[in-house]
Amino acid sequence: MNIIVCLKQVPGTTDVKIDPETNTLRREGIENVVNPFDTYALEEGIRLRERFGGKVTAISMGPPQAEGMLREAISCGADEAILISDRAFAGSDTLATSYTLSCAVNKIGDYDLVICGRQTIDGDTGQVGPELSEALGLPFVAYVSKINELADGKMTLERMVEDGHEVIETPLPAVITVVKEINVPRLPSLRGITRAKRAEIPVWTSGDLEVDDGRIGLTGSATWVVEIFFPQRIHRGEMLEGDPDGQVDALIEKLRELKIA
Amino acid sequence: MDYGLSEEQITLRDLARRIAEERILPVRAELDETEEFPWAIMKDLADSDMFRVFIPEEYDGLGGGCFELCVVVEELSRACGGVAVCYAASALGASAILLFGSEEQKQKYLPDIADGKRLAAFGLTEPTAGSDAGGIRTTAEKVSGGYLLNGTKQFITNGGEAEIYTIIALTDKAKGARGASALIVEKDTPGFTFGKKEKKMGIRTSATRELIFRDCLVPEENLISKEGAGFPMTMRVLDKSRPGIGAQAVGIAQGALDAAVDYTSQRIQFGHPIISLPVVQDKLADMATQIEAARLLVHGVARTVDSGAKNITAEASMAKVFASDVAMKVTVDAVQVCGGAGYMRDYPLEKMMRDAKITQIYEGSNEVLRNTIAVGLRKRKARRE
């Protein structure tokens, strides 16, 4: 069973600043981590390989420094990793991203399953997984919490829905997104770290992927970020001043005015 | 401080630290409270190849030695001395096989220990034999097909959880300590049972049990080395394991210092964090200095062990005695500078103080080891004369 796992590098903090010029995240000086939801995708890929054999290929579309994250994926058990990186991909929205990823998945070929995290913690859209399945023309199951069986080119899995779990059977190849309930991701191993240090991580550019230039980067994006702002605080509390007795009197007066008391 | 670690050793330290912070720290208070054996963490350690660290490459290990073991034990102990000893005790249990076992014994047991599939343990102490290891009464009578074990081992770390035990028993009662031999006994051997899990002051997540042997037949091929070699073998095993206890003590002390610095930086009294008070600073400075000294002694002795040096009993004892005394003093002082918070079980310090105490007691009490060190001094003096 050959598995492709999609990973994204995200800022390792919620304390990010927005660049007012471009309305995008300021990533300088911020430590990057693997998108936490993607770590469950990687772990599930490794577990499936341990159960059924095959190999796990980790891919990421991002800047050159995402290579470090891919090495960590190898140190945790991925067999190989590919970085999809090109200035032409900059500014991609989820549509352009999923198109680009689909080109990479097709170039890898010979796969049975693509696993993504349910969403990223920076963009938070949850769109890349489903859009990727669309671009590949494959079945898609979101929010997978358990993989039960795999036989005869079909997979049975459970997905989380609001009021319980659905058991779903899908033919393979397929694309799934996973939730954190599916497993506890392992840490790197010492032998994995040694392997990761030596691993060659190919970088695939737009030329390598033979993409349609109109469908990548900003040009290929159907959405643009026009403005990013903090929501206005509409309800404001009022602080009462003065000594405790005075504050109590003022509070009672307010409640009377509002006809609450 | 530059500890002269190689690139591989830094990788090892960083990964052990990450396991400690991500997997041990969040559950250490609960493990202390419930006294449950940390199987999930043992699995994490196995998955990360930590049990391979002290096993040679030809038996699926990574070929490290005493030093690498100390690096891991210190990092784990920084978060929880109890979890660390479960790990270190497996190394101790493997040690006799590693040092004195036959090729067949090594092939049979070491790969599983390296893989973390099975934990190991070492069984020496008995109700009548602690510091006086010569007082053991468990017998291994030679019968057709092997040795018949009878007797009881006491306070055995990893007892009941480990699957591979190195047991010291008398094959010749008349010879006393010179009639002691080492045998490998697997869990589930008929006649081998366990007593209740002991309730301890500290390191409460670790398992300490009696091992009970009643006509337990152990195959002849499980004898390590030869009959009568048990006692000197034990001394060699302990020489190599004592720096590990030193590392455990250094880790506990470092964890306590870290917690004390955190707390005293945040605790405001008289308008200032109490870390700005000279009386607190004095204590913290002494704690930090003693920890560095202990760590360097442990590192130095561990490196000496790995160099293959002989007659290291005194040095190994010094590393264990000094570091454990430091751990006790540092944890007591850490509780003191944190005041009421140091004493409360919602904070980590009182546990560290309880955990530190055992390091002065096990693998040779500090009293008996001081005696050992002094005997070494007299021997040296005598040799010069």
Which CATH number do you get for residue B190?
Answer: 2.40.110.10
Residue A55 clears pLDDT 90, i.e. is over it: yes
Residue B385 clears pLDDT 60, i.e. is over it: no
Q: Does the distance separating the beta carbons of B62 and A191 come in below 8 Å?
A: yes
User: Are both B367 and B255 inside the same structural domain?
Assistant: yes
**In this structure, is residue B24 part of a structural domain?**
yes
Residue A73 clears pLDDT 60, i.e. is over it: yes
**In this structure, is residue B384 part of a structural domain?**
no
In the predicted model, what is the mean pLDDT of chain B? 96
**In this structure, is residue B2 part of a structural domain?**
no
B91-138: pLDDT as tens digits: 999 999 999 999 999 999 999 999 999 999 999 999 998 888 888 999
User: Are both B172 and B95 inside the same structural domain?
Assistant: no
A25-39: pLDDT as tens digits: 666 667 888 999 999
H helix and E strand count, chain B: 11, 10
User: Are both B219 and B254 inside the same structural domain?
Assistant: no
B85: phi then psi, degrees, rounded to nearest 5: -75, -25
Q: Structural domain of residue B238, as residue ranges?
A: 231-378
Cis peptide, bond prior to residue A173, ω within 30 of zero? yes
Q: Which residues neighbour A111 within 8 Å (Cβ) at sequence distance 6 or greater?
A: A2, A3, A4, A57, A105, A173
Burial of B383 (0-12, 13-18, 19+ CB in 10 A): exposed
As given in the structure block, the two tokens for residue B224 are: 């390590």
Q: Which of B228, B243, B267 is where one domain is finished?
A: B228
Angstrom distance (rounded) from CA B263 to CA A35:
32
pTM of the model: 0.89
Q: Does the distance separating the beta carbons of B52 and A191 come in below 8 Å?
A: yes
CB A186 within 8 A of CB A46: yes
User: Are both B206 and B237 inside the same structural domain?
Assistant: no
If one counts every other C-beta atom within 10 angstroms of the C-beta of residue A247, the result is 13
Q: What total of structural domains would you count in chain B?
A: 3
Q: How far is B336 from chain A, CA to nearest CA, in Å? A: 35
User: Are both B246 and B336 inside the same structural domain?
Assistant: yes
Q: How far is B111 from chain A, CA to nearest CA, in Å? A: 15
Q: How far is A189 from chain B, CA to nearest CA, in Å? A: 4
CB A32 within 8 A of CB A7: no
Average pLDDT value for residue range B157-161: 98
User: Are both B245 and B362 inside the same structural domain?
Assistant: yes
Q: Which of B133, B151, B132 is nearest to B141 (CA)?
A: B151
Please report which confidence band the pLDDT of residue B334 belongs to, taking 50, 70 and 90 as the band edges: very high
User: Are both B347 and B246 inside the same structural domain?
Assistant: yes
Residue B349 clears pLDDT 70, i.e. is over it: yes
CATH value at residue B350: 1.20.140.10
User: Are both B210 and B276 inside the same structural domain?
Assistant: no
Q: Please report the pLDDT score of residue A226 as a whole number.
A: 82
User: Are both B183 and B241 inside the same structural domain?
Assistant: no
User: Are both B269 and B369 inside the same structural domain?
Assistant: yes
Question: Which domains, and CATH codes, for chain A?
Answer: 2-215 (3.40.50.620)
Chain B positions touching chain A (beta carbons under 8 Å): 11-12, 15, 18-19, 22-23, 44, 47-50, 52-53, 62
CATH value at residue B29: 1.10.540.10
Q: Please report the pLDDT score of residue A28 as a whole number.
A: 67
Q: Please report the pLDDT score of residue A25 as a whole number.
A: 67
Q: Please report the pLDDT score of residue A18 as a whole number.
A: 72
Please report which confidence band the pLDDT of residue A22 belongs to, taking 50, 70 and 90 as the band edges: low
Angstrom distance (rounded) from CA B19 to CA B11:
12
B175-186: pLDDT as tens digits: 988 999 999 999
Q: Which of B95, B118, B141 is where one domain is finished?
A: B118
B272-300: pLDDT as tens digits: 999 999 999 999 999 999 999 999 999 99
Q: Please report the pLDDT score of residue A14 as a whole number.
A: 65
User: Are both B49 and B129 inside the same structural domain?
Assistant: no
Residue A103, CA atoms < 13 Å, CB-side half-sphere: 22
Residue B237 clears pLDDT 60, i.e. is over it: yes
Q: Please report the pLDDT score of residue A233 as a whole number.
A: 75
Give the active site residues of B.
363
Please report which confidence band the pLDDT of residue A121 belongs to, taking 50, 70 and 90 as the band edges: confident
B40-97: pLDDT as tens digits: 999 999 999 999 999 999 999 999 999 999 999 999 999 999 999 999 999 999 999 9
Angstrom distance (rounded) from CA B214 to CA B202:
30
Using CA coordinates, name the residue in chain B closest to A185: B44
Angstrom distance (rounded) from CA A15 to CA A38:
20
Q: Which of B60, B92, B118 is where one domain is finished?
A: B118
Nearest to B12 among A186, A187, A190 (CB): A190
User: Are both B86 and B130 inside the same structural domain?
Assistant: no
A10, β-bridge pairs: A33
As a whole number of Å, the CA-based R_g of chain B is 21
Contacts by B338-341 with C-beta closer than 8 Å and gap 24+? B338/B259, B338/B260, B338/B263, B338/B264, B338/B267, B339/B267, B341/B263, B341/B267
Chain A positions touching chain B (beta carbons under 8 Å): 186-193
**In this structure, is residue B368 part of a structural domain?**
yes
